[in-house]
Amino acid sequence: MHTIAGWPDEPMALFRDWFARAGADNGAEPETMTVCTATPDGRPSARILLLRGLDHGFCFFTNYESRKGRELDANPNAALVFYWPQPYLQVRVEGTVERMSAEESDAYFDSRERAKQLSAVVSQQSRPIADWRELRAEADKLMQSDAPVSRPKHWGGFRLLPHHFEFWSGSRDRMHHRCAYTLMDGKWSRELLAP
């Protein structure tokens, strides 16, 4: 990968390759990612989430009324960062987000463990609460029932549609390999970056 010819033409295939490699190399959760959002006036915030689907975009799920959900609805520009200490790789992705369909959100919600479904039902994510124990008690009470749990309307998926990638392959001497991909007129261009 010392020349531009050493990097593939299309970034999603490379991402899938590195993602698989990260999972095989250390057995950690390669789907762990930082999701960066911003308010309409540009105030950023970041948090760790899990990648829950990879198709023509990067899929994740959250409470639409949480800070991240409100920011993504108001300003659909977002960024993701994946860092895998072993095998010493990082990928940055920038793009715009869209809400996933109700059917996609329902299917993912239905696949979750019951306790995680109930957490989504009882938690008004990011909102102030008086006492965590009250929230826990509400979830525990619901766990006693066998009734099916429906996805709350305030909870669902987002898909980030990428328009920029930066791949970073680390080197202990700081002579890292970096390649950026930018989507222009429906085609990916690529360029090497200095470490």
Residue 62 forms beta bridges with which residues?
Answer: 156
- Contact indicator for 60, 22 with CB cutoff of 8 Å: no
114 is a catalytic site residue = no
Task: Determine which one of 112, 127, 174, 178 is catalytic.
Answer: 174
Q: Cα separation of 36 and 12, whole Å?
A: 20
In terms of Cβ atoms closer than 10 Å to its own Cβ (0-12, 13-18, 19+), residue 186 is: exposed
Q: Which of 156, 190, 193, 195 is nearest to 12 (CA)?
A: 190
List the catalytic residues: 174
